[in-house]
C-alpha cells in the first residue's frame, strides 16, 4: 500500500494496515515540542496560553481553557454550568462514552435522545420529548464532523431555559450556515486525541463567551485553586485559596506545543479530508453495497469520520472482509444507552432510541485522514465495490 505522506512514514509504520484514522506529524511539529523541552516551562505555561488564544480566535469564541483531554473539557463544562445530583442532561445515544459519562461525574443523569437516521445527529424532536422539569442542558454532538441543527436546538434551549453545550470533538474547523463550530453553543468542547482533527497527544479545550464559566474551568482544572503557580510567582504571592475541590486537568506546554503547531495546519488537514470524502461520495453514489451518511450543504463538514450504512444486514461480513484486506474499518458507536452501566444504573433499555438501535446495526467507519493517499482511497473503494455476500 503506497503512502504519499512523507511526514511521518519513517517514524511509524502500520505496514500494510490502513487505519481508519491517524495523525500527521511533521518536522515543524517535532521542532515545536523540542523548543518547549529546552524552555523553563514544561507544564501549563506560555505555550498553553498561546494555543488557547489561537484556538479561540480560530473558532470565534471569546475564552478558551485548555485541559488534559476532551473528556476533561466535557467535565469542566458540566461543572461550570453547575450540573449536580437531580439534574438531567440530554445527550445523543450515538456518541463516544465520554459525552454521557461527563454528566455522571457530576452526579447528574444523562437522558438519551435518539438520532436522525440520515446523519446520526441528535434529533431535535426527540430532545423536545425528553425534556422534563429537571432538564438543565443539552449536549449536541457533531457526529462524524458535521454540525448539528444549532438553530433548532438553540430555539428549544431558549424556550425551556436550557444551556446548549456542543461536544465538537469531531468538528474542529467545521461551520454551520457560515458560523464556525465554537461560536454556535453556550460552551463548546474539543479533543486533540491523535485520531481527531488536530493532535496534541492527549488534550482538550473548552471555549465559551461566558467569563464566569471560563474562570471556573481554569480553577477546576487546577485542583480548585483560585491562583495558579505562574500568577503567584508573577505577583510575589504564596497564599492560595480553594473554594471547592477541583482536579488535575492541566494541559502541559509540551502537549500545547504540538497542538498549537498542528492548529496552523488545520485548513490543510481539512482540505485533504474533504478531498477523500468527495472521492468516496462519488464512488458510492450508486453503490448497492454501502450508502454514505448524508452531508447537508448548509454545513462545512470536518470529516473526522466517513460513515457508511452497509446494505441488507451485511455489516458483519463487510467488516470482516475489509479487515481481512488490511483496511481498518470500525464502528462508531454502539448506542450508549445500551451499555451495561447505563442499563443497570439508569434503567435504560432497548426501545429507548429505536432509530439509533436500528442504524447501529448497519454502520461502518471507513478510513479517512489527511495522510491518506488517493491510492489508499481507491483500495478502500475497490474492496467495498467488489464485496458481495
What is the C-alpha to C-alpha distance for residues 177 and 15, in angstroms, rounded to an integer?
41
Query: Which residue of 22, 56, 66, 70 would you call a contact of ligand PLP, by CB under 6 A?
Result: 70
Helix (H) or strand (E) holding 240: none
What is the C-alpha to C-alpha distance for residues 289 and 321, in angstroms, rounded to an integer?
13
Helix (H) or strand (E) holding 249: none
**β-pairing verdict for 109-113 and 88-92:** parallel
| Residue length of the chain | 389
Query: Which residue of 44, 47, 61, 99 would you call a contact of ligand PLP, by CB under 6 A?
Result: 99
Residue 186 or 384 with smaller CB distance to ligand PLP:
186
Q: Is 339 in the site for ligand PLP (CB under 6 A)?
A: no
In whole angstroms, the minimum distance from the beta carbon of 342 to ligand PLP comes to 16
Q: How many residues bind ligand PLP (CB under 6 A)?
A: 14
Q: Is 217 in the site for ligand PLP (CB under 6 A)?
A: no
DSSP state of 170: T
| Stretch of 63-71, 105-113, 147-155, 336-344 contacting ligand PLP, by CB under 6 A | 63-71
What's CA 366's distance to the chain center, in Å? 17
Residue 193 or 218 with smaller CB distance to ligand PLP:
193
Complete DSSP assignment for 343-366? HHHH---TTSSHHHHHHTTTEEEE
In whole angstroms, the minimum distance from the beta carbon of 257 to ligand PLP comes to 17
Residue 33 or 205 with smaller CB distance to ligand PLP:
205
Contact present, 116 and 123 (Cβ < 8 Å):
yes
Q: Is 277 in the site for ligand PLP (CB under 6 A)?
A: no
Half-sphere exposure of 360 (CA within 13 A, CB side): 19
For helices 266-283 and 374-385, the axis angle rounded to 10 degrees is 30
Residues 170-209 that bind ligand PLP (CB under 6 A): 170, 191, 193, 204
Query: Which residue of 8, 24, 71, 252 would you call a contact of ligand PLP, by CB under 6 A?
Result: 71
What is the C-alpha to C-alpha distance for residues 96 and 237, in angstroms, rounded to an integer?
42
| Residues 6 or more apart whose Cβ sits within 8 Å of residue 371 | 3, 5, 7, 8, 22, 24, 272
In whole angstroms, the minimum distance from the beta carbon of 194 to ligand PLP comes to 9
Strand, coil or helix: what is 281?
Answer: helix
Q: Cell 438520532 identifies what position?
A: 115
Catalytic residue among 196, 265, 291, 325: 196
Residue 24 or 321 with smaller CB distance to ligand PLP:
24
Q: Is 104 in the site for ligand PLP (CB under 6 A)?
A: no
In whole angstroms, the minimum distance from the beta carbon of 133 to ligand PLP comes to 27
Residue 142 or 376 with smaller CB distance to ligand PLP:
142
| Stretch of 64-72, 254-262, 344-352, 372-380 contacting ligand PLP, by CB under 6 A | 64-72
Q: Is 150 in the site for ligand PLP (CB under 6 A)?
A: no
Complete DSSP assignment for 76-138? HHHHHTT--TT-EEEEESSS-HHHHHHHHHTT-EEEEEPB-TTT--B-HHHHHHH--TTEEEE
In the annotation, is 196 catalytic? yes
In whole angstroms, the minimum distance from the beta carbon of 200 to ligand PLP comes to 9
Q: Which residue is nearest to ligand PLP (CB)?
A: 70
- Positions annotated as catalytic residues are 196
Q: Which residues bind ligand PLP (CB under 6 A)?
A: 69-71, 95-96, 98-99, 141, 167, 169-170, 191, 193, 204
Amino acid at each position: 500500500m503506497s503512502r504519499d505522506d512523507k511526514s511521518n512514514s519513517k517514524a511509524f509504520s502500520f505496514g500494510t494496515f490502513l487505519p481508519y484514522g491517524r495523525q500527521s506529524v511533521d518536522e515543524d511539529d517535532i521542532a515545536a515540542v523540542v523548543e518547549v523541552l529546552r524552555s523553563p516551562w514544561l507544564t501549563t505555561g506560555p505555550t498553553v496560553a498561546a494555543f488557547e488564544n489561537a484556538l479561540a480566535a480560530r473558532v470565534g469564541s471569546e475564552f478558551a481553557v485548555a485541559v488534559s483531554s476532551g473528556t476533561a473539557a466535557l467535565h469542566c463544562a458540566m461543572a461550570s454550568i453547575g450540573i449536580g445530583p437531580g439534574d438531567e442532561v440530554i445527550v445523543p445515544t450515538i456518541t463516544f462514552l465520554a459525552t454521557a459519562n461527563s454528566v455522571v461525574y457530576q452526579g447528574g443523569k444523562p437522558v438519551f435522545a435518539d438520532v436522525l437516521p440520515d446523519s446520526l445527529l441528535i434529533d431535535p424532536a426527540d430532545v423536545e420529548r425528553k425534556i422534563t422539569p429537571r432538564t438543565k442542558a443539552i449536549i449536541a454532538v457533531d457526529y462524524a464532523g458535521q454540525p448539528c441543527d444549532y438553530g433548532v436546538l438553540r430555539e428549544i434551549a431558549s424556550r425551556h431555559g436550557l444551556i446548549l453545550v456542543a461536544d465538537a470533538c469531531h468538528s474542529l474547523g467545521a461551520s454551520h450556515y457560515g458560523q464556525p463550530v465554537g461560536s454556535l453553543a453556550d460552551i463548546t468542547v474539543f479533543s486533540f486525541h491523535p485520531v481527531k482533527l488536530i493532535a496534541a497527544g492527549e488534550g482538550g479545550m473548552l471555549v465559551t463567551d461566558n467569563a464566569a464559566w471560563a474562570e471556573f474551568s481554569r480553577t477546576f482544572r487546577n485542583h480548585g485553586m483560585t491562583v495558579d503557580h505562574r500568577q503567584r510567582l508573577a505577583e510575589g504571592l504564596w497564599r492560595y485559596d480553594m473554594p471547592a475541590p477541583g482536579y488535575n486537568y492541566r494541559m502541559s506546554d509540551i502537549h500545547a506545543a504540538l497542538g498549537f503547531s498542528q492548529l496552523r495546519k488545520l485548513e490543510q488537514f481539512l482540505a485533504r479530508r474533504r478531498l477523500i470524502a468527495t472521492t468516496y461520495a462519488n464512488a458510492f453514489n450508486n453503490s448497492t453495497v454501502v450508502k454514505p451518511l448524508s452531508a447537508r450543504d448548509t454545513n462545512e463538514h470536518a470529516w473526522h469520520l466517513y460513515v457508511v450504512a452497509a446494505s441488507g444486514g451485511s455489516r458483519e461480513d463487510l467488516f470482516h472482509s475489509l479487515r481481512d484486506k488490511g483496511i481498518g474499518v470500525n464502528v462508531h458507536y454502539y448506542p450508549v444507552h445500551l451499555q451495561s452501566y447505563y442499563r443497570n444504573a439508569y434503567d435504560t433499555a432497548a426501545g429507548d432510541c429505536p432509530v439509533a438501535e436500528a442504524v447501529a446495526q448497519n454502520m461502518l467507519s471507513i478510513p479517512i485522514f489527511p495522510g491518506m493517499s488517493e491510492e489508499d482511497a481507491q483500495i478502500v473503494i475497490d474492496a467495498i465495490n467488489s464485496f458481495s455476500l
